[in-house]
Structure 1
Amino acid sequence: MPSKKGISARVPHPAPPGSILNNVRPIDPALHPIETGSYRIATPAIQSFYELICRCLRYRITGALTYGPPRIGKTRAIEYLRLLLCETHPKITTYHAQAEHKPRHAEGPFFSNLLEAVGFPEPDSGSNPTKRLRLINKIKEACSRNGSGTVVLFCDEAQRYDENEYEWLRDVHDHLDRIQIRLFTFLVGQQELLAVKTALQQARKTQIVARLMVEELAFHGVRNVNDVATCLAGYDQTCFPRSSDWSFTRFYLPQAVTNGYQLGNDAALLWNAFSALHHKHGLPGELEIPMNGNVSIFTCHLQAFQ
């Protein structure tokens, strides 16, 4: 992390006193999303994921997989994308199921997991057929409430599913399709997920692949200065309160922003600092910063000026 001195050298000098008419923060700083941690910023990988979702919705591709290294930000990406879809496609119902590690794969726990994802109050109760029916009915109710027969399901850590679980998921697709509800499933997991698809293709399980794994997307962290600039632009363009013109950057640097500064101006400075640290410590491979890491770094960068 660059020193505060090194970063602040890029910030314009404050204008003379009295030259700024209104730079009084509109809310208590303690309530700002950066302080509470209740915000998400898009990365290029998240943008690519969103484009994949839109493409699948447009062309009725009912299944895709996204894979990447552990702790690169895939779960946070799902959280961001659900919020974004709520804004851009308010009638679409979205769910986030977390596949669990378990020594044996059984139908009951699988459907309990999905029932928990759709918000059923007692997901572990009932027989397996009852759980299936409850899942379908819960999704049907949500679609009726939202006024659309389109559902997006994110299955996180999907490399943990076995062949039977993929078959059960395909059964859910077919059941919903019969009642005019179209389910789009996005399998999210580690690189092994791609190997799962290959194995299913080799075993001629084409019905699973055709329903759940048509498209592929490699998910990555921040890998170059342009990726950093894209992330920083989120701070320059996202406002809070939402109806105001107080960008995240302006909230922490009101005088500097009035003078023309944007956090994106520091993209090269930050990337060079990351790269220098990477080489200094002799870390293997190309530099790639996980989503959690870059959010923490950029947040510290802003908070340093308080």
Structure 2
Amino acid sequence: MNSNERPFVPKGSHPIETGRYLIPTNEIVRMHNTVVQWIDNRSPGGMIYGRPRIGKSRAINYLMFDLPAEFGKNLPIFKMCCRQYNRPSESSFFEDLLNDVGHALPFSGKANLKRDRLFRFFLERAERAAQKRIIIFIDDAQRLHEIQYGWLMDIYNELDNAGVSMTVILVGQEELIHQRSSFIQSRKAQIIGRFMIHEYKFTGIKSVSDMTTCLSGYDHLSEYPEGSGWSFTRYFFPEAFEKGYRLENCAQDLFEVITTLRNEAGLKKSADIPMQYFTLAVEYALRRFGINGEDVGWLNRAHWKQAVINSGYIEAETYQDVV
């Protein structure tokens, strides 16, 4: 493909339009370094917690993509999304795990058969990779009940007896900290020792430097179609990009626009901007004002203000301040 010719992308299929892409952030890099240390030390587990929509789930996806570069491409790494159950059952728990890790037979059999199937699946993956380790991220982990930690511990112990170390990384909201406090009070040392010894608080965008790093990803670390040489910024603002304009140079303007809107809304807390609203604002700006939209040439503060308002960020923060 001629890198000087803007590639054809069917309408609605660009990652900016689908939202399916990964951009590294300062916070993801910090979390990555922490998780690498946990895994390198063969820690049994740790907690990553933060407010809703701060970007934790995207960070998990980024780590799942990036960690094999640290520990080998065959690293067995899985993700489970916790479902909400008022009365959790052992059968449903292992069924959900089997389904999320991609087992071919997640639903058949009784609870004990599902548990054995999961154990053998993890054991086979660990031995095939010659790593003798399993990594599993559990998203929305604040939904886990105490009894479910017990079932998870059973798998951990079975693998440990077979010479395989399992690192369980709990990812969830700040309720995780309260759960640990409850376990401490009720002397559930076995749960804390397995899964809650380490902790990391995940935050959003807090500074111009954080925002610069995020915006730089759209300029330099993104590319679509793959191999085309066209970053997201270049695709939506080809002429401006050719002249040297970059989104990373908009960081100061965007941060000040957000600060002004927060002040006008009476928001007193320090800014901790969730990635969900940040990416919605950037995507809106690229779609609405780029070459496929109004084709304004380049973005100014008025455009960023409209993008931030359209993202719903201020309304969400106002509600967060109230609760």
Match of residue 195 from structure 1: 178
Q: Is the 8 A contact 1:67 1:191 kept in 2?
A: yes
Match of residue 248 from structure 2: 264
Query: Cα distance, 1:48 vs. partner?
Result: 2.2
SS of residue paired to 2:199: strand
Higher RCO, 1 or 2 (CA under 8 Å, sep at least 6)?
1
The code of the aligned residue for 2:84 comes to H
**Structure 1 unmatched runs, 5+:** 1-20
Shift of the 22–121 alpha-carbon distance from structure 1 to 2, 3 Å rule, reads closer
The code of the aligned residue for 2:290 comes to F
Deviations 1:86-134 (A, max 9, x none): 5554211221112222121332222122112212244333122211110
Do structure 1's residue 283 and structure 2's residue 283 form an aligned pair? Answer: no
CA distance in 2, matches of 1:36, 1:25: 19
The code of the aligned residue for 1:70 comes to P
Do structure 1's residue 170 and structure 2's residue 170 form an aligned pair? Answer: no
What are the equivalent positions in structure 2 for 1:90-129 lying under 5 Å apart?
A: 90-129=73-112
CA distance in 2, matches of 1:77, 1:214: 21
The code of the aligned residue for 1:214 comes to I
Shift of the 302–213 alpha-carbon distance from structure 1 to 2, 3 Å rule, reads same
TM-score, normalisation: structure 1: 0.85
Aligned-residue RMSD, C-alpha: 2.2
Match of residue 300 from structure 2: none
TM-score, normalisation: structure 2: 0.81
SS of residue paired to 2:121: helix
SS of residue paired to 1:65: strand
2:46 maps to which of 64, 78, 82? 64
Match of residue 20 from structure 2: 38
The code of the aligned residue for 1:23 comes to N
Match of residue 9 from structure 1: none
Shift of the 75–169 alpha-carbon distance from structure 1 to 2, 3 Å rule, reads same
CA distance in 2, matches of 1:134, 1:22: 49
Deviations 1:260-306 (A, max 9, x none): 22210000011111111112222353332211111111122223221
What are the equivalent positions in structure 2 for 1:171-250 lying under 5 Å apart?
A: 171-238=154-221, 239-250=223-234
The code of the aligned residue for 2:145 comes to D
Q: Is the 8 A contact 1:221 1:289 kept in 2?
A: yes
What are the equivalent positions in structure 2 for 1:76-155 lying under 5 Å apart?
A: 76-88=58-70, 89-155=72-138
Match of residue 305 from structure 1: 290
Q: Is the 8 A contact 2:3 2:228 kept in 1?
A: no
Aligned length: 286
The code of the aligned residue for 2:34 comes to L
CA distance in 2, matches of 1:170, 1:148: 20
Match of residue 7 from structure 1: none
Q: Is the 8 A contact 2:3 2:230 kept in 1?
A: no
Query: Cα distance, 1:25 vs. partner?
Result: 1.7
Match of residue 143 from structure 2: 160
Query: Cα distance, 1:22 vs. partner?
Result: 6.1
Identity of aligned residues (%): 36
